[in-house]
Amino acid sequence: MMTEQMTSNAVNTSVPNQYYGGNPGVYTPPMDCHYTQLQTNGVTDDIMKISIGRNGKVFKAITRQANVNYIWYNKDNHYVEIWGPEKNLHDAYKRVFDRIQKIITKVANGEIKLSDSESQSNNVDVDNDIVMQ
């Protein structure tokens, strides 16, 4: 389970408050932005895959809802990067953290079965939970 405290690693530069589209699936973070990261040590790749959503749907929704520029999961180093206006980083961090916790809870309660690849790829209701907020 994730018990990481919310810490900010923001850099002191600014960028206009707009969504940075980049290239989906390609690491292209905005340069002149504040930044923070959420450690995901101990969270399985399957949990992260569901947390991110099909084609990044959930991370894209969180990006818009929290009004940040870019969210990326660094699979090799086990952390989520969040880029955007400093005042919005905490909200995005909390949304990502809560999303991962929600998926962990659903897996623990048996609502999502990780061994069933069909359930992972067809968790549209789980994706829509965050998109509908």
pLDDT digits (tens, 9 = 90+) for 105-128: 999 999 999 865 444 444 545 666
Q: What is the pTM of this model?
A: 0.76
At residue 113, φ and ψ (nearest 5 deg) are: -105, 115
pLDDT of residue 127: 65
What's the pLDDT tens digit per position in 34-74? 999 999 999 999 999 999 999 999 999 999 999 999 999 99
Token duo for residue 12: 């002191």
User: Is domain 34-131 classified as CATH 3.40.190.10?
Assistant: no
DSSP 25: T
C-alpha distances out from residue 48 to 72, 98, 99, 122, Å: 11, 12, 10, 15
Which residue intervals of the chain are DSSP H helices?
Answer: 45-52, 57-65, 86-108, 117-121, 124-131
Confidence of residue 24 (pLDDT cuts 50, 70, 90): confident
Query: Residue ranges of the domains in the chain?
Result: 34-131
Report the pLDDT value the prediction gives residue 129, as an integer from 0 to 100: 64
